[in-house]
Amino acid sequence: MSPGASALPRLGVTLYSFTRDFHAGRATLEELVARVAREGLGPGLEVIGFQSFRGFPHMAAEDERRFLELVERHGLELSCLDGNVDIALRADRLLDETELVEYLQAQIDAAARLGFPVLRIQNQASPRVVERLLPHAEKRRVKLGMEIHAPETVRSPWVLALRELYARLDSPYLGFIPDFGASTRGISPSMFEAFRAKGVSDDLLEEIARRWRELDGKEFEAHEEIGRFIALAHEHGAGDHAVNLAVFAVGIHGHQEASAWSEILPHVVHVHGKFFDIRDGREPVVALEELIDVLVAGGYRGYISSEYEGWHWDTESDAFAMVARQQAVCRAALERYARSS
């Protein structure tokens, strides 16, 4: 029997989707949260710590109190706090292991004080760092969610090392956060349209698409391929657009099959529902319905945070309207299961 509505993933949104509005001063944190609630884009709410809170992870007690009151007033549920693993904080050297552990412990503490059940971490945190963090995460009852972001996959060497660690430590406070952008069928047409409007040649865009397809099924180092794409763009006269073209093509459009996420689903603690555009009721390159099928089949019951990333190049669309359209697609996919139960 198919799962009922109570046993399905839930929908929410990350405020990262509205970065352009926040950075442009069109909306405060309080206004973003209020609009999320008003437009029914919750109930899950994901927030980026360093983007949203002054002094993070050491915020003023009054600021923390106001945020908690804000969330309660609007009837939202905190799903994930995005931490950062900034190993290059110092100008003279990288943080050593102990410094990085202390830096992340402070972010775990912030998540606990604010009531977030999950802290997103990134792969600059080695398995050794994650293991050292675990006792503190367990004490504070905050799950550590390692993000798997394009172009990485569930079989990337560092992910395999973490999978071994998780199997050995067997703690519910260690997990992964899949990012839908790691499973795309191509580069978003909206990205190509935006760069074409900036004067980038069709020849270059076609070559980028071809080179991207050649990476299907291959293991590669992201920084090396980004470098190659930058060189390609410069060869075609892309000028100041070369770096963004390369980073967007390689760094947020991944090649992993949707079905591959099933390998790690027992350890998934949150999901980033990355998307770039919704046209005629579908996402052109992110197989939202197929990805949701994989999550449901694997028994995932947590939040899928809508993460609109087309704002990097689409300066005209309303990000809130775009998220609403994406959630309509996701909701329809989930309702199929609810109806059939």
Residue-wise pLDDT tens digits, 125-177? 999 999 999 999 999 999 999 999 999 999 999 999 999 999 999 999 999 99
pLDDT at position 44, please?
98
- Are 38 and 120 in the same domain? yes
- Are 104 and 141 in the same domain? yes
How many folded domains does the chain comprise? 2
Integer-rounded Cα Rg, in Å, for the chain is: 20
42-100: pLDDT as tens digits:
999 999 999 999 999 999 999 999 999 999 999 999 999 999 999 999 999 999 999 99
pLDDT at position 313, please?
98
* Tally of CB atoms within 10 A around 31: 13
- The tokens for 2 are 């198919």
Last residue of a domain, one of 226, 252, 278: 252
Q: Where are the alpha helices (DSSP H) in the chain?
A: 19-23, 29-38, 49-52, 61-73, 97-114, 127-140, 157-169, 189-197, 202-214, 222-235, 242-251, 288-297, 319-340
Q: Which distant-in-sequence residues (6+ apart) come within 8 Å of 266 by Cβ?
A: 298, 299
180-218: pLDDT as tens digits:
999 999 999 999 999 999 999 999 999 999 999 999 999
306-337: pLDDT as tens digits:
999 999 999 999 999 999 999 999 999 999 99
Q: Which helix (H) or strand (E) holds 119?
A: strand 118-121
- Are 246 and 263 in the same domain? no
- Are 211 and 169 in the same domain? no
127-137: pLDDT as tens digits:
999 999 999 99
Domain at 24, CATH number = 3.20.20.150
90-103: pLDDT as tens digits:
999 999 999 999 99
Average pLDDT over the chain, rounded to an integer: 96
Q: Model confidence at 338, in pLDDT bands (50, 70, 90)?
A: confident
Contact 15, 48 (CB under 8 A): yes
> Of all residues in the chain, what percent carry a pLDDT higher than 70?
98
- Are 117 and 38 in the same domain? yes
Asked whether residue 3 carries a pLDDT value surpassing 50, the answer given is: yes
247-296: pLDDT as tens digits:
999 999 999 999 999 999 999 999 999 999 999 999 999 999 999 999 99
- Are 276 and 151 in the same domain? yes
- Are 197 and 260 in the same domain? no
- Set 58, 74, 136, 149: catalytic member: 149
- Are 198 and 149 in the same domain? no
- Are 166 and 29 in the same domain? yes
- Are 83 and 24 in the same domain? yes
Asked whether residue 1 carries a pLDDT value surpassing 70, the answer given is: no
Give the pLDDT mean for 17-43: 97
Q: Model confidence at 222, in pLDDT bands (50, 70, 90)?
A: very high
| Region of 170 on the Ramachandran plot (φ > 0 left; ψ -120 to 50 alpha; else beta) | left
Asked whether residue 105 carries a pLDDT value surpassing 90, the answer given is: yes
- Considering the entire predicted model, what is its pTM? 0.96
- 149 flagged as catalytic: yes
Asked whether residue 6 carries a pLDDT value surpassing 90, the answer given is: no
Range of the domain at 29: 5-186+255-340
Q: Model confidence at 340, in pLDDT bands (50, 70, 90)?
A: confident
- Are 15 and 93 in the same domain? yes
Last residue of a domain, one of 252, 280, 299: 252
Last residue of a domain, one of 197, 223, 252: 252
- Are 177 and 261 in the same domain? yes
- Give me the residue label for tokens 């290059």: 88
User: What DSSP letter does each residue of 171-214 carry, written as one string?
Assistant: -TTEEEEEBGGGBBSS--HHHHHHHHHTT--HHHHHHHHHHHHH
* Tally of CB atoms within 10 A around 93: 10
> What is d(CA 37, CA 34) in angstroms, rounded to the nearest whole number?
5
* Tally of CB atoms within 10 A around 210: 9
